[in-house]
Structure 1
Amino acid sequence: MKQRLWAVVLISAALAPSLRAQAPAFRSESTDVLVDVVVRDKHGRLIRGLTRSDLVVKEDGEEQTITSFRAVSASPGAATARPAEAEQSRVAAVRQERVQVSTQKRLVSLVYDRLGPDGRRLGRQASLDFLKKDLGPNVYYAVFTIDRGFKVVQPYTDDMARLKKAVEAATSGERSDFQSDLANMSRTANAAGNADGAESPTPSQGTVDGAAMSAAQAGQMAKEMLDFSEVLEREDLGRMSVFSLWAIVKELRKLPGRKTVLYFAEGLQMPNSMVEQFKSMLSEANRANVTVYAIDARGLTTVSDQGAANAKLSEAAQWSRYARNTQNETAAGNKQEFRTFDRAADSLRANQQNEMLELAESTGGFLIANTNDLRPNLEKLSEEFNTYYEITYHPKNQVYDGRFRAIAVSVTSRKDAVVQARDGYFALPVMEGQTVFSYEAPLLRVLSRNPLPRELEFRAGVVQFRQRMGLQQAALVFDLPLKNVAFAKDEKVGKYRTHITVLALVKDADGRVVSKLSRDVPLNEPMDRLEGFQQGRFIVTRAINLAPGRYTVESVAADQEGQRVSAKKSVLVVMRHTGEASVSDITLVRRIDKPAEERDPQDALQVPVGRIVPTLIDSVPGGSGKLLSLFFTLYPDETSQDPPKVVLDLLRDGQVVSRTSPALPPAGPDGSIPYVANIPLDSVAAAQYQFRATLVQGNFGAQKSIYLNIE
C-alpha cells in the first residue's frame, strides 16, 4: 500500500510562544498580490467603466495602496473609464490602463475529475458549447483528466479541432468505480450488524447463542472493513484531486495573463487529513492569480450531499451519548468512542458540493450546480472571463508568518455593487521548485534565530547511496525520539494528545533549497498506547538526488503541546565518484516495514525484503539476545569478471573484534546488492565501536564505516 501522509491541521494561529518570539527573516523578491475583480449590480449585470479611484482593496482590514489597475474589456469601447492620464495625475505612482481582451493572453484549463456516464455527457456538451463561444484571439485551452492518476490529454493550444478531439477523449470511457464495492459492503454490514433492528450503535450486552454471535461478529467485521476502506478511499480520491489541481496551478503561476480552471466533478472528496494541503493549494492558486469555476456534473439531483455529512455527525453523536451514559465498557465500544472525534471532523467535510463551492469562491470563481441547463451559467462565466478588473497591490505587512491574509475589495462609488474576487492567501515565503505549507512558516522563522534554540533532542541528516548520471542517490532522514515529547491526558475519555511538527531543508552553496521534508502530526490516541508511543521514534525519510558539491542541512523540530522547539544546521559534502564499485553510507535499522506494492526505483530504502526504516542514533543496547542491525548497499563493478565479496569488521580502539565474510545475495536488476547485517551482541562489551563494510572485487576494494556506542 502506498505511503499515506499523516493528518495535518493549520497550526499557525495556535503556535507556542517560543515559536512566535522572533520576527521572520523571510521576504520574497516579488510580493505583489494580483487580484482579478468582477463587479455586478444587484440585478447581476456587469458594471463597466470603473477606475482605480472607485475601488478599495483591504488586507486583514487594512487598506492597501493599489500599484496597478487595468480594466479588461471584451469589446472596443466597453470600458468607459475616465482617462488614465487624469487618474495618474491625481494618484501619483499608480499605473492605470485599459486593455482589450484580444491583446490579453488567457489560459483555460478544462479538468474532468472522475465523471460517471451522465456527468461525462453533461461535461462534454458544456465544454463544447463554451469552446464555440470563447475560442477567440490569444485564448489557449488545455484538457486534463483525474481518475486513478492525473493525465494531460491536450497541452495548451488554440487549435479547435484538437480541442474538440481532446474533450471527446476526456469525456468518454468509464471511470474507476470504488463506490459500488463499498456500497455492497455497507449493505452487508448493516444487514448483519443490525439484524436485531437496533437503530443506535449500542454494543452487544450479555450472552447470545452461537449463531447470533456469529452474525453479530460478521456484521461488526464488515462494518470495520467498511469504515477502514471508506477512510482510505476518501484519502486517495481527495489526495488525487488536490494534488492534480495543484500541479496545474504550480505551472500556471509561471505564466502571465488571465488564468481560469473549469473543474468538472461530481463532488470533491475532502477528508480531514487533506484539509491543510487543500488550503495551501487554494492559497497558491490565489497567489498565481488562478480562478476556479466548479461545475457539479451531476446536474439536477434530488439527493443532498448534506445527508452524508449529517449521517457521520449523527453516528459521532450516538457514540458520544453512549460514552456518557453507559456504565459497562467494552473493547468495541471504546474503539468506536475513540473514533468519535474523527467522525465529527469528517462530517464537516462530508458535503462534497460544499467543497466544490469553497474551491470556487476562495479563488474568485463560482459554483454551477443543481441544474441540467448550464447555458445561463456558462453565459455568466463567459462574461467574467472576458470583462474584469485587474488590481495589483504591494502588501503593507511583509511578515511571513503562515497566517491567512483576508482580501476584501469594495466599490466606493456605487452602493449596489456586488464584488467577486479571491478571498485571500497564506503569507508564505517563496521557495523555487518547492511547495511551502502554512505550518512550515513558523519553523522557517526559527531557522533565522541566532543562536538556534536547543530544547528538543533530534537528528537529521542525509544517507548517501549510489551516484549515477552525475547525481547522488540519497535519503533525507529526520529522527525524533518521542520520550521527551509532551502529551496532555484526558482521563475522562482515556486518551492523550500530542502534536509534532518537523522540517528539514537541503540548501546548495548559493542558499537555494534543493530538497525539503516536513510533517505536521497531531495525535489523539488511547491512553493504553502512551507507553509504546514514548518508547518510539518519529522517523521520516525522503528520497532525493544531489549533484556533487557542498550543501547545508537545516532542520527544526517543534513539540507543540510542550511549547518547545529545536533547530540545527550541518554541512553535507557530496563527492564526485571516480571508481566503478562503491559502498553506500551505513545506517542503523530501526525496523523493516512490509514491501511496497510498487517499488520506487528512486528510493534506495525500498529493498526486496521490505522498506528499511533507518535511525540516526549512535547508541544501541547490548547484552544477551540483543542484535546490532545495520543496512548498506554494495555497488559492484558491473564490467568486472570477478565476483564481489564483502568483509564485515567490528573494531574497538582500531583493533578487529570480529570479522565475517557472509555470502551475498544476487544483485538486483540495477546491479546493486542491498544488505542487512545482524550482529549478535551477547558477548560484546559495552564500549565505542567502529563497524566497517568492505567490498572486494578482484584487486579493487571500496569501504565505508560507522561509529557507534554499545551500552
Structure 2
Amino acid sequence: PIDARGLVAQAPLGDATRGSAGGIAMYNGQSGMTLMSAFERSQDTLWALATDTGGKALIDYNDLTRGMAQAQQALSSYYIIGYYTSNASLDGKFRRIRISLNDGLTASLDYRQGYYAGKRFGKFTPAEKERQLEDALMLGDPVTELTIAMELDYFQLNRAEYFVPLAVKIPGRELALAKRGGAEHTLLDFIGEIKDEYGTTVSNVRDKIDVKLSDSTAMELAQRPIQYDTGFTLLPGKYKVKFLARDAETGRIGTYETPFVIPNLNKEEKRVAISSVVLSSQRVDRKDALYNAAKDKGLSESVNPLVQEGQKLIPSVTRVFRRNRDLYVYLQAYEQGVDTVEPLVAFVTFYRGQAKAFETAPIQVADALRNRLKTMPLKFDLALTKLSQGEYTCQVTVLNPVSEKAAFWQAPIVVVP
C-alpha cells in the first residue's frame, strides 16, 4: 500500500484548518501527542496490511510514481509456494510460516508471516459470535444456511407514524438438528436493520430467544415452526429490511431481505384508507411464549393492534391453512378528518381461478376508536371447512356506501387437509 498523503509534516498544535486546542492539554504537550498518535495509527493500518500479506508499505514519501514503479518491479518475477498443513485442529490460533533458502543462497525474501487457522463455531468467544453476526448483516450476498419466512404489515398510529409488526418463521425441523447433536436447548440470535430509500439506517433490532430441546419438544419441532415477532415505528416512505437469524448451537445463519412501502394514508382521497390485512389461524395468550420459545415481549405490544383483550393474533407468514382450523382476518380502516363516522361494509371472497368459491356475509362497522384517525377495526372469523383443499385468491372488500368509496386487497392462500 502507498500513503497518498506523501511526506507529512504537522505543526505540534495543528494548522489553520481547525481551531486551537484549549485547556491544559495545549501546555503539557497532550494535544500534540494526540495529533501525532492519530496520524501514526493511520499509518499503522498500512504497515499491518503490508506485513500480513507479505508486501511493503510506502509512507512519508512524495514521489508516488516511484513507489508504483517499485511495486511493479517487485511483482515482475515471483514464486507462488503452497502447502497442505499437517495440523488439522480448527482452533483459530495464529500459525507462523518460515521460508528459507538452501545451499548457501542469499536473497531478500518477502512473504506472508503466517495465518490464522479456521475455528469451529462452538469455540467462538462471545465477541467473535457477535462480530460474525454483524459481518453477515453487512454482506452483499445473503447467507442462506437457515430457512426464513417473513411478513411485514403496517397500521397507522397517528397522522405521522405507522406501527410495522414483523413476523418471522423458521422451520422447526432445522433446529431439531441441535437436539440430535446432544444439545438440551439452543439460542436463536436475531439481528436486523431497516434502511430508507437513501440507504440510511432508520431502525434496527438485536434480540434472541431460548428454545428448549427436550425429547417431546424436539418431536414437535420436526412438524411446527418457531415464530419470532417484533415491531417498529416508521414514517411513510420506501424502505428495505434485512433480517438475519442464527442458530447459536450450530452457527447456521439465514437471511431475509425485501423492500417495502408504507403509504401515506393521509393523502388517500379516492379509496377507503385501510391498513395491511393480516391472515392468521392462531391466537395465543400474550403471556405465553410462542412455540416453546421464551423471550421478552418488549414494549412494542403496547401499540401493537394485533394484541387485543390479552390475545395476540399471530400472522400466517406462509399463508397455508388447514381446513380444520379457523381463519382470522384483521385490518383497520381510517376515516380521519370527518366529524361523524360513516358506516363501512366489508366482506371476504375466495376465488379459485376466475370462479368464486365462497363469499362471507357482509358485516357493517359503524363504531370507531376514540382517536383523531377514527380507526375502525374490521374482524372476520371464518371456518375453512367450506373450502376444499387447493390454491385460492383471498380478497377483502371494504365499501363506504355514503361517500361511494371502496378498497380491495388480494393475496394467494393455500388450503390443506
Structure 2 counterpart SS, 1:682 = helix
The residue number in structure 1 matching 2:318 is 617
The residue number in structure 1 matching 2:259 is 571
Aligned residues of 1:648 and 1:692 also touching (Cα < 8 A): yes
The residue number in structure 1 matching 2:149 is 459
1:550 and 2:238 are equivalent in the alignment: yes
Structure 2 counterpart SS, 1:445 = helix
| Inter-partner Cα distance in structure 2 for 1:395 and 1:681 | 68
| Inter-partner Cα distance in structure 2 for 1:93 and 1:654 | 73
Superimposed CA distance per residue, residues 544-591 of structure 1 (whole angstroms, 9 cap, x where no aligned partner) = 232222211111122233332222321112222223642221223253
Aligned residues of 1:499 and 1:560 also touching (Cα < 8 A): yes
**Aligned mate of 1:632, from 317, 331, 336:** 331
Give the Å deviation of 1:649.
Answer: 1.0
Aligned residues of 2:154 and 2:275 also touching (Cα < 8 A): yes
The alpha-carbon distance between structure 1 residues 561 and 583, as it changes in their structure 2 partners (threshold 3 A), is: same
| Inter-partner Cα distance in structure 1 for 2:375 and 2:196 | 28
1:583 and 2:274 are equivalent in the alignment: yes
Structure 1 counterpart SS, 2:184 = strand
The alpha-carbon distance between structure 1 residues 520 and 571, as it changes in their structure 2 partners (threshold 3 A), is: same
**Aligned mate of 2:307, from 601, 606, 610:** 606
Aligned residues of 1:587 and 1:614 also touching (Cα < 8 A): yes
What is the one-letter code of the residue matched to 2:145?
Answer: E
Give the Å deviation of 1:444.
Answer: 2.9
**Aligned mate of 2:136, from 446, 462, 478:** 446
Q: Which structure features the higher share of helix residues?
A: 1
- The two structures, once aligned, show a CA RMSD in angstroms of 3.9
Structure 1 counterpart SS, 2:145 = coil
What is the one-letter code of the residue matched to 2:268?
Answer: G
Structure 1 counterpart SS, 2:147 = coil
| Inter-partner Cα distance in structure 1 for 2:156 and 2:215 | 43
**Aligned mate of 2:355, from 640, 655, 663:** 655
What is the one-letter code of the residue matched to 1:695?
Answer: V
| Inter-partner Cα distance in structure 1 for 2:198 and 2:138 | 17
What is the one-letter code of the residue matched to 1:652?
Answer: R
Superimposed CA distance per residue, residues 609-666 of structure 1 (whole angstroms, 9 cap, x where no aligned partner) = 62222231122233xx333333322334654553211121111213321112344564
The alpha-carbon distance between structure 1 residues 394 and 501, as it changes in their structure 2 partners (threshold 3 A), is: farther
Structure 1 counterpart SS, 2:174 = coil
What is the one-letter code of the residue matched to 1:694?
Answer: T
| Inter-partner Cα distance in structure 1 for 2:41 and 2:179 | 44
The alpha-carbon distance between structure 1 residues 509 and 696, as it changes in their structure 2 partners (threshold 3 A), is: same
The residue number in structure 1 matching 2:215 is 527
1:667 and 2:355 are equivalent in the alignment: no
Give the Å deviation of 1:668.
Answer: 3.0
Aligned residues of 1:650 and 1:692 also touching (Cα < 8 A): yes
The residue number in structure 1 matching 2:381 is 678
Structure 2 counterpart SS, 1:453 = coil
The alpha-carbon distance between structure 1 residues 530 and 576, as it changes in their structure 2 partners (threshold 3 A), is: same
Structure 1 counterpart SS, 2:153 = strand
**Structure 1 unmatched runs, 5+:** 1-69, 74-78, 97-391, 399-436
Give the Å deviation of 1:600.
Answer: 5.3
The alpha-carbon distance between structure 1 residues 395 and 593, as it changes in their structure 2 partners (threshold 3 A), is: farther
What is the one-letter code of the residue matched to 1:634?
Answer: A
TM-score, structure 1 normalization: 0.37
Give the Å deviation of 1:397.
Answer: 7.9
What is the one-letter code of the residue matched to 2:407?
Answer: A
| Inter-partner Cα distance in structure 2 for 1:609 and 1:667 | 20
| Residue correspondence of structure 1 range 52-91 to structure 2 within 5 A | 84=29
Aligned residues of 2:193 and 2:243 also touching (Cα < 8 A): yes
Which structure is richer in relative contact order (CA contacts within 8 A, separation 6 or more)? Answer: 1
| Inter-partner Cα distance in structure 2 for 1:621 and 1:539 | 18
Aligned residues of 2:179 and 2:218 also touching (Cα < 8 A): no
Aligned residues of 1:482 and 1:538 also touching (Cα < 8 A): yes
Aligned residues of 1:587 and 1:616 also touching (Cα < 8 A): no
| Inter-partner Cα distance in structure 2 for 1:664 and 1:439 | 53
| Inter-partner Cα distance in structure 2 for 1:477 and 1:455 | 19
The alpha-carbon distance between structure 1 residues 687 and 470, as it changes in their structure 2 partners (threshold 3 A), is: same
Aligned-residue identity in percent: 15
**Structure 2 unmatched runs, 5+:** 1-20, 47-126, 288-296
The alpha-carbon distance between structure 1 residues 652 and 639, as it changes in their structure 2 partners (threshold 3 A), is: farther
What is the one-letter code of the residue matched to 2:163?
Answer: Q
Query: Larger deviation: 607-616 or 550-559?
Result: 607-616
Give the Å deviation of 1:465.
Answer: 1.9
Superimposed CA distance per residue, residues 143-186 of structure 1 (whole angstroms, 9 cap, x where no aligned partner) = xxxxxxxxxxxxxxxxxxxxxxxxxxxxxxxxxxxxxxxxxxxx
